[in-house]
Structure 1
Amino acid sequence: MKRRIVPVSLRPLLFVIVLTALLTYWGWLLYRLVGPQLVQELPDLGSLLRYLLGWLLLLLLIGALAYLNYRFAYRRWMHSAKTRFYYWSWLAALSWLLFEALQVRTDREPTFVDENILVTLLLMGLISLYGFIADSLQTRRQQQLLIQQKTEAELTALKAQINPHFLFNALNTIFNEAQRSDNQLVADQIEQLSSIMRFTLQESARPLISIEQEFQFLEKYLALQRARLPDLDTLQLRTQLDWDGLPAQLPPLLLIPFVENMFQYGLSFQQPSRLDLDVAVENRQLRMRVVNTLGSAANQKGGAGTGIKNTRQRLALLYPDRHELTIQQTDKLFTVTLRIDL
């Protein structure tokens, strides 16, 4: 059973709709409860504004005090067991200062002592809570940054494993062709390989490339592979690359392991071979289907190399919850189906 995922662009709108409906419902209930009385007995507008302004200034003062406490006391002393005593001593001193300020505000009337103590404890609780919450959010941001850096390092390592493997295979193809004949075909292959190497060494360092660039790279690779294949009735090779022209991007060298796997494990010159490749990008949705028969190399090694394993990891890191990868293997066929929300 497939799980329907709400598009990313609609998620903020969904949150706004639900929140607006909830606040409207609460407002309607409150109006039914106290609305008629408020309409009959409206307070003086100037007094109300001064009252609200006083509360706003008080909240801003408490917020500024909590931030300064976190910035200059909590972060400096709380993270070390040796200096933690300084932080608690500072809180005690700050509590004393807040209490004395409240005492001055109430003209040091004895009847307000208990109320001032309670307000002081409440304010110190809010200030302390702000420090813990702010520190927790800061720690979480640092963890996310570390995860991002780890992900980028893993992707770099995975691409480093993929690129040389492909280049050596292509060089071997041209070398064999050059041994057999000295003609224009070899020159064309060298030119294609030069473009592929330039793409691999330069464009692969970028996080994203256009669909047009990826398709050009695949077409050059397919041209090299066709040049080395013999003309046999038992060999069927069909490729189709379609793109609707809408701007879309994807990481470089993401699709080539599936294509390379098709040639590496699907070719056989002794028995019938079928190699089918379909890649379509429509409305920023990439769909890829690769079908190949299993040759002798696949029977010995299991039908899939390390390239597909690495690509599976890249997809999980780059497109979590935004891709579907299905790999099926029978006695005769190996099928890969990939969908990516670009």
Structure 2
Amino acid sequence: MSVSNPLLLLSTPADTVTLVFLLLVPVVVIFLFMVFVIYRIRREQQVRQREAELREQTAEMEMKALRAQVNPHFIFNSLQSIHLFIQKHDHEHAGKYLLKFSGLIRLVLENSEHKEIPLAEELKALELYMQLEQLRVRNGFDYHFDITDGLDPEAVYVPPLLLQPFVENSIWHGLHHRASKGAIWLRFGKRADMLEIELKDNGAAAPDNVDPGAQPMNSEKRKSMGTSITRQRLELLNRSRAAQSVIQLEDIRDAEGTYAGKRVFVRIPLIEED
């Protein structure tokens, strides 16, 4: 008994084309599936790589922000102020200053371990910082916090060490040059899904004959560095949250056009406690 070849049973060329088509369909499907799998694997690898790079850049910016706030010059001046109090036998002020200084360092180090912290913690660190600097500015200054209704500082989160560079700029590039006591105002509010922060001071422009030795060491360099670090941190925040954070800086002028202070406006995504 002979075994017939299935291909010989095809009576027309159309049958041959149909058979070839049926044989090729699974091959094409398998090929396309393999291409899709390879594409997905490479795509996931690229996403993981971008996420790793973003985490690395974020960690680097946070470390730069930490170094910018707890800088050697600030630590040196704080310890020097404590030493002067001790020399004057003013142990009460020395003790208070030391407690505030140690409290600030503890807060900064603790907060720097977190990606976001409650706004209340950021304000606490800012207040300690300004209380320490009040003793160093020639004529002193006041500060005011204005938190709009509906904004809970305990439930709203912000990147740590976010505002300190701007407060430092207001103190040493504005209030430090005033002939009388100055002031800083910080206002916090929310609009839609964004947190809006406004900082204003009534500082004076540096006089043309200012003594460079009377200003903090490398003050201009630190001014640009602190602002640059904050801008880079917000750029990373925009990438990680698909947001549109902004920083705007402008001079305040009186009716005659004379410099009357600085205004900083910051808008970041509103991060609230779940």
Q: Does 1:293 align with 2:204?
A: yes
Question: Equivalent residue for 1:239?
Answer: 144
Q: Which one of the candidate residues 100, 104, 116 is aligned to 1:192? A: 100
Contact 1:279 / 1:287 at 8 angstroms: preserved in 2? Answer: yes
Unpaired stretches in structure 1, ≥5 consecutive residues = 1-106
CA deviation after TM superposition for structure 1 residue 302, in Å: 8.2
Partner deviation per Cα, 1:132-185 (whole Å, 9 max, x = no partner)? 322332232232233223223322431342233144443344344444451422
Separation in structure 2 between the aligned mates of residue 185 and residue 282 of structure 1, nearest angstrom: 39
Partner deviation per Cα, 1:298-342 (whole Å, 9 max, x = no partner)? 9x8389342222112112112453322111248734332222222
Separation in structure 1 between the aligned mates of residue 230 and residue 77 of structure 2, nearest angstrom: 18
Which structure features the higher share of helix residues? Answer: 1
CA deviation after TM superposition for structure 1 residue 127, in Å: 2.3
Query: How do 1:89-100 and structure 2 match up within 5 A?
Result: none
Question: Equivalent residue for 1:219?
Answer: 127
Which structure features the higher share of strand residues? Answer: 2
Q: Does 1:142 align with 2:48?
A: yes
Partner deviation per Cα, 1:31-74 (whole Å, 9 max, x = no partner)? xxxxxxxxxxxxxxxxxxxxxxxxxxxxxxxxxxxxxxxxxxxx
Q: Does 1:182 align with 2:93?
A: no
> Which is further off, 181-190 or 281-290?
281-290
Q: Which amino acid aligns with 1:288?
A: E
Percent of residue pairs identical: 21
Match of 1:278, SS? strand
Question: Equivalent residue for 2:3?
Answer: none
Separation in structure 1 between the aligned mates of residue 65 and residue 223 of structure 2, nearest angstrom: 17
Contact 1:294 / 1:334 at 8 angstroms: preserved in 2? Answer: no
Q: Does 1:119 align with 2:31?
A: no
Contact 1:322 / 1:340 at 8 angstroms: preserved in 2? Answer: yes
TM-score when normalising by structure 2? 0.70
Separation in structure 2 between the aligned mates of residue 182 and residue 290 of structure 1, nearest angstrom: 34
Q: Residues 273, 304 of structure 1: CA spacing in aligned structure 2 closer, same or farther, 3 A cutoff?
A: farther
Q: Residues 261, 169 of structure 1: CA spacing in aligned structure 2 closer, same or farther, 3 A cutoff?
A: farther
Match of 2:162, SS? coil
- Larger-Rg structure: 1
CA deviation after TM superposition for structure 1 residue 238, in Å: 3.9
Q: Which amino acid aligns with 2:26?
A: T
CA deviation after TM superposition for structure 1 residue 213, in Å: 1.1
Structure number with greater CO (CA < 8 Å, separation at least 6) is 2
Contact 2:82 / 2:98 at 8 angstroms: preserved in 1? Answer: yes
Q: Which one of the candidate residues 31, 53, 58 is aligned to 1:152? A: 58
Separation in structure 1 between the aligned mates of residue 222 and residue 104 of structure 2, nearest angstrom: 25
Question: Equivalent residue for 1:254?
Answer: 162
Q: Which amino acid aligns with 2:229?
A: N
Separation in structure 1 between the aligned mates of residue 172 and residue 77 of structure 2, nearest angstrom: 9
CA deviation after TM superposition for structure 1 residue 229, in Å: 4.1
Q: Does 1:339 align with 2:267?
A: yes
CA deviation after TM superposition for structure 1 residue 191, in Å: 1.0
Separation in structure 1 between the aligned mates of residue 177 and residue 223 of structure 2, nearest angstrom: 19
Separation in structure 2 between the aligned mates of residue 171 and residue 306 of structure 1, nearest angstrom: 24
Query: How do 1:1-342 and structure 2 match up within 5 A?
Result: 110=10, 111=15, 112-165=18-71, 166-229=74-137, 232=139, 237-242=142-147, 244-245=151-152, 247-268=155-176, 271-272=179-180, 274-282=182-190, 285-291=195-201, 292-295=203-206, 296=210, 297=215, 301=220, 304-320=223-239, 321-329=243-251, 332=259, 333-342=261-270
Aligned residues: 232
Partner deviation per Cα, 1:76-96 (whole Å, 9 max, x = no partner)? xxxxxxxxxxxxxxxxxxxxx
TM-score when normalising by structure 1? 0.58
Match of 1:222, SS? helix
Q: Which amino acid aligns with 1:189?
A: Y
Q: Residues 245, 138 of structure 1: CA spacing in aligned structure 2 closer, same or farther, 3 A cutoff?
A: closer
Separation in structure 2 between the aligned mates of residue 176 and residue 241 of structure 1, nearest angstrom: 34
Unpaired stretches in structure 2, ≥5 consecutive residues = 1-5, 253-257
Question: Equivalent residue for 2:255?
Answer: none
Match of 1:304, SS? helix
CA deviation after TM superposition for structure 1 residue 281, in Å: 4.0
